[in-house]
Structure 1
Amino acid sequence: MPLDGKVAIVTGAGQGLGLAYARQLARQGACVVVNDVDGQAADDAVAAIEAAGGRAVAVVAPVGPTATAQALVTEAVSRFGRLDILVTNAGILRDAVLWKMSDDEFDAVIDVHLRGTFTTVRAAVRHMRQAGEGGRVICVGSPTGQRGNFGQTNYAAAKAGIVGMVRTWALELERAGITVNAVVPVAATAMTSTIPYFAAAVRADSRGEPVPAFFRHDLGFGTADDVTGLVAFLASDAAAAVTGQVVGVGGDRIQIWTHPEAALTAHHEGGWSYDTLAAAWPTTFAGALQQVGERFPDLPEAFRPAS
């Protein structure tokens, strides 16, 4: 198995995508530290991994605080002797439009997603660098962080920030042989179950039925297990040359997201005044303006929610 002898930490691994990542890493041979704030969910995840022949241990604590990050690393090393892989998956939602979002709603999401990713990665790479054997860091992003989404100021900021940190860390950790990548998953989870557009796919998954091809192929939307192959690959030696990348995954689809690049470059001798911009904008710049938010094709009639 490609991850034999490796040790992984997965945050937010008590359910959903995090649980799917932890079980896949264990199936590929890794010992797994399962982190979650829900003690019962964490214990159940460990039991499921062990029942399938894997090795796992639970650490029940919220991500964000430095103490939690250090506790995760300490548990991995004390129980399994090393640390090779970190998957930062833990997250929460506190959705509200900008003018209704409270300080607490903003801070809670930033603390778990952004600060939690920072503190956990920092603790992990301190150990990995000292051990001198390289490592794999996989941070979980979102389409919202790439394009924005109505009512998710806090979540969009956190997920965009994670991608910015991933690109920076890839540069800083290259000499240590530690790769850092972001995964952008799209799957039937608790977070997507309330979106009417995906209702037919989520319903099929909950019933144990195949997700319809329209969702799997056209939208790249499938099950949590569809995402786990990419995580296992990025955690393996086969991905030693892959770093600083943002990879979308869901259903039957894989996407490499581009790093931000200028969509258009234009020069005007002496600089751009208001008058020159106003004159040139409609013909020179307007055609290069970028899309915001996700735009989905019309649902086939068979999958439309009842009105």
Structure 2
Amino acid sequence: MSLDGKVAIVTGAGRGLGLAYARQLAERGAAVVVNDVDEQATADAVAAIRAAGGRAVAVVAPVGPTETAQALVATAVESFGRLDILVTNAGVLRDTVLWKMTDEDFDTVIGVHLRGTFTTVREAVRHMRQAGEGGRIICIGSPTGQRGTFGQTNYAAAKAGIVGMVRTWALELKRAGITVNAVVPVAATAMTATVPYFAAAVRAEAAGEPMPAFFRHDLGFGTSDDVAGLVAFLGSDSAAEVTGQVIGVGGDRIQIWTHPEVALTAHHEGGWSYDALVTAWPTEFAGALRSVGERFPELPEEFRDTAS
């Protein structure tokens, strides 16, 4: 099913994953509002979409402020007459360990990822509800928001918060026919290019060569285009019944993340006192504790030199 006649906004679409999303949506027939803070990258993205026969306009502005959200929605409606799909992809990184993270490091990442998602979705939903034709909201999450990553307090908080908002919005917007989902991409980007573990895969992509099967299949690590198909699907009428989900995608793999579930339930008559917990913890609770952080399989020997 094509996206002919649909209109989409993609934030952070000047390059990388965001550009892949915008191009895929345009290839499927949607008109696209391309947003980024980099004026040249935004112009280049719009030009590339138009050169391929698509329709696109630019909005150069940082997400976060309500004014930007208003400008994005207004541009979609003024340029193409409607708004059907929003992809909130814009983001920044300010990585450092907790004890070195400044207020500015924290606030900048939260402002773009979390507040930017909130303000943009709020403005889009106001228009969609008034138009009465439903809509598709696709928010970009991260494995970091699901499991945590060393040195990314701010980013983990923002991405986990986005997933919490997605689940809430799916409940609030169901009657309006607006679906809300989170996509957790795993792909070669500027961020993963700095991780030695992925060096062989990143190098292959840069050379225009196929990524080794270990990365694409076992790790679910691929290119930006591998993620874009899911984003386009979630924006289509075919995904009308899919909402409130967190879906991981990368390489040859797709995953449906579980919602947080209780791992163990135990009762103690009179309540759980300190002494009761000291006694029971090793036998009743310790085995149910959850792991944190991403755990990757051992890198095959053939790729170890590039990861050193």
- TM-score category, normalised to shorter length: over 0.9
**Aligned ranges for residues 109-258 of structure 1 at < 5 Å?**
109-258=109-258
Q: 1:301: Cα distance to partner?
A: 1.1
Query: Partners of 2:252 and 2:283 in 1: how far apart?
Result: 39
Q: 1:231: Cα distance to partner?
A: 0.4
Query: Partners of 2:29 and 2:281 in 1: how far apart?
Result: 57
Q: Deviations over 1:186-245 (max 9, x none)?
A: 000111110111111011111111011000010000000000110011000000000000
Are the equivalent residues in 1 in contact too, given 2:136–2:235 (CA < 8 A)? Answer: yes
**Aligned ranges for residues 1-307 of structure 1 at < 5 Å?**
2-304=2-304, 305=306, 307=308
Q: 1:249: Cα distance to partner?
A: 0.3
Q: TM-score, normalised by structure 1?
A: 0.99
AA in 1 matched with 2:84: D
Query: Partners of 2:37 and 2:234 in 1: how far apart?
Result: 26
Q: TM-score, normalised by structure 2?
A: 0.99
AA in 2 matched with 1:279: T
Q: 1:306: Cα distance to partner?
A: 5.7
Query: Partners of 1:51 and 1:26 in 2: how far apart?
Result: 11
Query: Partners of 1:120 and 1:225 in 2: how far apart?
Result: 24
Q: Deviations over 1:89-114 (max 9, x none)?
A: 00000000000000000000000000
AA in 2 matched with 1:21: Y
Question: Match of 1:181, SS?
Answer: strand
Question: Match of 2:255, SS?
Answer: strand
Query: Partners of 1:207 and 1:269 in 2: how far apart?
Result: 64
Are the equivalent residues in 1 in contact too, given 2:7–2:80 (CA < 8 A)? Answer: yes
Question: Match of 1:138, SS?
Answer: strand
Query: Partners of 1:252 and 1:289 in 2: how far apart?
Result: 31
AA in 1 matched with 2:166: V
Query: Partners of 2:205 and 2:164 in 1: how far apart?
Result: 33
Q: 1:303: Cα distance to partner?
A: 1.0
Query: Partners of 1:219 and 1:35 in 2: how far apart?
Result: 30
Query: Partners of 1:306 and 1:260 in 2: how far apart?
Result: 33
Query: Partners of 2:158 and 2:199 in 1: how far apart?
Result: 26
Question: Match of 1:243, SS?
Answer: coil
Are the equivalent residues in 1 in contact too, given 2:200–2:307 (CA < 8 A)? Answer: no
AA in 2 matched with 1:301: E
Ranges in structure 2 where 5+ consecutive residues have no aligned partner: none
Q: Which range moves more in the overlay, 152-161 or 271-280? A: 271-280
Q: Deviations over 1:132-191 (max 9, x none)?
A: 000000000000000000000000000000000000000000000000000000000111
Root mean square deviation, CA, Å = 0.7
AA in 1 matched with 2:53: G
Q: 1:47: Cα distance to partner?
A: 0.6
Q: Deviations over 1:265-285 (max 9, x none)?
A: 111111111111111111111
